[in-house]
Amino acid sequence: MSTTTRLSRRVTELLGCSRADADAYIEGGWVSVDGKVVESPQHPVTDERIELDPDAVLETPEPATLLLHKPAGFDAFRPGSPVASLATAHTRWDADPTGLRLLQRHFHRLTPLVPLDAEASGLIVLSQDGRVWRRLTEDADQIEQEYIVEVAGEIAPYGLRRLNHGLSYRGRELPPCKVSWQNEFRLRFAIKRVEPGQIRDMCAQVGLQVVAMRRLRIGRIGLAKMPEGAWRYLPVGEKF
């Protein structure tokens, strides 16, 4: 009867490396068991075929940040919401320009950042990275967001001017933002410190009803041409 042992121990024996290096190879997605990549050093093995990818490099996997094109109607920020279920190996954008290797660990403990209305579509951030979390929470008021808002109705006199500056939301006087017409049905908002429901309320205050809304950009990071429901990695070195 074959003895069960940890995958990291078997890799240590096969490669003659340290346990720490074995863990790094496994967690980096470089080790396969009977042809299937396994990323857990604790994975039990007996007499399976263990192989190391010939391109393997010793490096500690970095925490991942995923950029997702959220569909309208999905509340990504409700407690207990399975938003991370939208980001899977199968929904990665096939035109993701980063070239980053996909690891299953990248889908663990993802935190949605920068709230977006449930009825809106567009860019949201899912991250494991504490540095990204701090940037998008502690500095949130300084980060501009861009939205395209489809509206119906007749705008009130001086309504566009008031959208740019002159409205309040929940008792708070809103700071200036940049709002302009893209065509006769769509407004472009470039706005900071936006709260859930705020843009819809702003439009209502000037006689407009929001038909649809999409977030195109958070800081310097844009949605690009990524289709709804797809995700890509935040490029290494790029910041919001």
Mind giving me the DSSP string for 91-149?
GB-TT-TT-PPP-GGGGSS-EEES---TT-EEEEEEE--HHHHHHHHHTGGG-EEEEEE
The pLDDT value recorded for residue 116 is 94
The pLDDT value recorded for residue 21 is 87
The verdict on 130 and 225 lying in the same domain is: yes
The verdict on 159 and 115 lying in the same domain is: no
The verdict on 165 and 211 lying in the same domain is: yes
The pLDDT value recorded for residue 1 is 53
The pLDDT value recorded for residue 237 is 82
Query: Residue 169 belongs to what domain range?
Result: 144-218
**Mean pLDDT per 10-residue interval, the chain, length 240 residues:** 84 89 86 88 89 86 93 85 80 94 90 93 95 94 96 96 96 95 97 94 98 97 95 90
Instruction: Judge whether 58 lies within some domain.
Output: no
Cα distances (Å, whole numbers) of residue 143 to 75, 154, 199: 22, 31, 16
